[in-house]
Amino acid sequence: MTLTPGTHAPAFTLPATGGKDISLDGLKGRKVVLYFYPKDDTSGCTLEAQNFQALRPEFQGTDTVIVGVSPDSLKSHDKFRAKYGLSFPLASDEAKTMLEAYGVWVEKSMYGRKYMGVERTTVLIDREGVVAQVWNKVKVPGHAEEVLAAAKAL
């Protein structure tokens, strides 16, 4: 499934860092940046998390919540957050239910080998739970700034 702006974001409830579940319903009334990434503590994913963290005060100023989502475990997320001083929640979707609902759990290919994995994607959701913008196959440099600009305009 491919998400398109103007459609309702799929509902979800996932365990997240900080010992709490995070859900779309619980975030209603605020703008939400869901950024889907393949794996904790890898170079691209670390840079992306650090970029969102650096801009977090500006996102907060626009009443926008940042949530990182990957299939990694909560234990892995906790280590990743602590190592890099991340203060926004990371949600764990080990069952890949949400990843599939958002269309980011896809077949990938590396060196001719096919496998399933997360396609780096960011979804901006408005205060009513409607998809405002989708960035597919994200390239990390400059991405967090682009998402912030869209959140400010929303």
Q: Which of 16, 24, 34, 45 is catalytic?
A: 45
Residues 19, 92 contacting (CB under 8 angstroms): no
CA-only gyration radius of the chain, Å: 14
User: Strand, coil or helix: what is 98?
Assistant: helix
> Which amino acid is residue 128, in one-letter code?
E
User: Strand, coil or helix: what is 80?
Assistant: helix
The CA-based diameter of the chain, rounded to the nearest angstrom, is 45
Q: Is 45 an annotated catalytic residue?
A: yes
> Which amino acid is residue 56, in one-letter code?
R
Q: Which residues are catalytic?
A: 45
